[in-house]
């Protein structure tokens, strides 16, 4: 039994936000209604609903949503009797205007997400969320790309702004278990607020990484049913719940209902199997933002280059979320170099 088994874990299901990338942001109201209803009945604690790139993400650069995210938030909030609706906000993409609107429609938790070295841009949004009476957590993306000391420094900034917790966010699915251990334990020693962990499964270690995070003191945990999340998906929620139950950790979430949801509700939505294919594996290997996968595959076809080469080059350039326009630049450059050979 893990050391942290007596602590109260809170789970956030991200399939209706992170999974938006897989769906090319084409979720329908019915899909959100059915998924949120089933998650609520299974006992899920929080359900994150918004564009894959957070509030305000429905743009030409990031991908237009089929249905306005505010309508999807309202739909989820309206059907949930127990679960709370969460949203993601990336400063520079989303604004306090979208945050206020989401709160009015029923969102009670916001994760304010920044690159791991840019926590200072989160202050305004964290302050506003607290003024609105929302729960607010910092979300330090691409956590593999900075030294542990820098991660701690940035997390402490978010704590000083009023965040009630900070997530170590493995956006690229690049962290290995010992690296998760180092990061979570360092935050646990340095902060007086909750620690969260958000994994991606590009190197097939999301469940293992999440277990290490819990062992080291993380109490806020993310997962995506049927791995419906960017890249190879996130920690597969129903699998994690099963593993934790085997370890004697109480989650308060109904395992059978989660299994049924994964099979009967989420499965039919998937445009294809969520598995570790060459693109997602290349992202984890190169340490590239997981939502870049579809953009890189499309750019590869357009310019006649291998999408893996695009991803590897993006990793070398240390590209971060919000730099989707760089994908086309890299693809064009690789195509030009190919012609010159």
Active site residues: 21
Rounded distance, CA 203 to CA 105, Å? 37
Q: Report the candidate in 88, 298, 289 with the shortest Cα–Cα distance to residue 202.
A: 289
Secondary structure E strands in 190-259: 194-198, 220-223
Contact yes or no for 3/213 (Cβ under 8 A): no
- Would the annotation count 289 as a binding residue? yes
- Would the annotation count 295 as a binding residue? no
Torsion of CA 236, 238, 240, 243, to 10 degrees: -140
- Would the annotation count 198 as a binding residue? yes
- The 3-class SS string of 89-151 reads ECECCECHHHHHHHHHCCEEEEEEEEECCCHHHHHHHHHHHHHHCCEEEEEEECHHHCCHHHH
The residue with tokens 């350039």 is 317
- Would the annotation count 18 as a binding residue? yes
Cα–Cα distances in angstroms (integers) from residue 59 to residues 52, 69, 87, 120, in the given order: 11, 12, 17, 25
Residue 238 CB coordination number (10 Å): 24
By DSSP bridging, strand 135-141 and strand 220-223 are unpaired
Contacts of 273 (CB under 8 A, 6+ apart): none
By DSSP bridging, strand 220-223 and strand 194-198 are parallel
- Known binding-site residues for Mn(2+) equal 18, 198, 200
- Known binding-site residues equal 17-18, 171, 198, 200, 289
- Known binding-site residues for substrate equal 17-18, 171, 198, 289
């Amino acid at each position: 039994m893990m050391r942290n088994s007596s602590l109260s874990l809170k789970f956030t299901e991200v399939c209706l936000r992170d999974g938006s990338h897989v769906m090319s942001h084409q979720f329908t109201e019915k899909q959100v209604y059915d998924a949120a209803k089933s998650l609520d009945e299974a006992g899920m604690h929080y359900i994150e609903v918004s564009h894959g790139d957070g509030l305000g993400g429905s743009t030409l650069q990031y991908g237009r949503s089929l249905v306005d995210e505010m309508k999807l938030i309202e739909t989820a909030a309206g059907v949930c009797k127990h679960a709370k609706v969460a949203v993601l906000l990336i400063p520079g993409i989303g604004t306090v205007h979208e945050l206020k609107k989401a709160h009015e429609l029923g969102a009670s938790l916001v994760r304010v997400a920044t690159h791991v070295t840019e926590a200072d841009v989160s202050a305004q949004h964290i302050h506003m969320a607290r003024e609105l009476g929302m729960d607010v957590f910092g979300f330090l993306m691409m956590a593999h790309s900075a030294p542990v000391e820098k991660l701690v420094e940035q997390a402490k900034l978010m704590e000083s702004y009023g965040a009630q917790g900070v997530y170590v966010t493995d956006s690229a699915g690049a962290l290995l278990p010992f690296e998760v251990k180092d990061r979570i334990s360092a935050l646990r020693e340095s902060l007086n607020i909750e620690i969260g962990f958000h994994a991606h499964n590009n190197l097939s270690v999301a469940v293992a990484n999440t277990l290490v995070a819990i062992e080291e003191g993380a109490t806020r945990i993310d997962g995506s049913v049927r791995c419906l999340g960017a890249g190879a998906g996130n920690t597969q929620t129903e699998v994690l719940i099963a593993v934790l139950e085997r370890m004697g950790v109480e989650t308060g979430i109904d395992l059978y209902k989660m299994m049924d949801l994964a099979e009967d509700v989420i499965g039919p939505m998937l445009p294809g199997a969520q598995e570790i294919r060459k693109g997602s594996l290349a992202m984890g290997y190169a340490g590239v933002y997981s939502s870049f996968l579809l953009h890189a595959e499309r750019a590869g076809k357009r310019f006649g280059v291998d999408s893996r080469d695009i991803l590897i080059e993006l990793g070398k350039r240390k590209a971060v979320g919000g730099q989707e326009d760089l994908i086309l630049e890299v693809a064009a450059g690789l195509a030009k170099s190919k012609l010159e050979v």
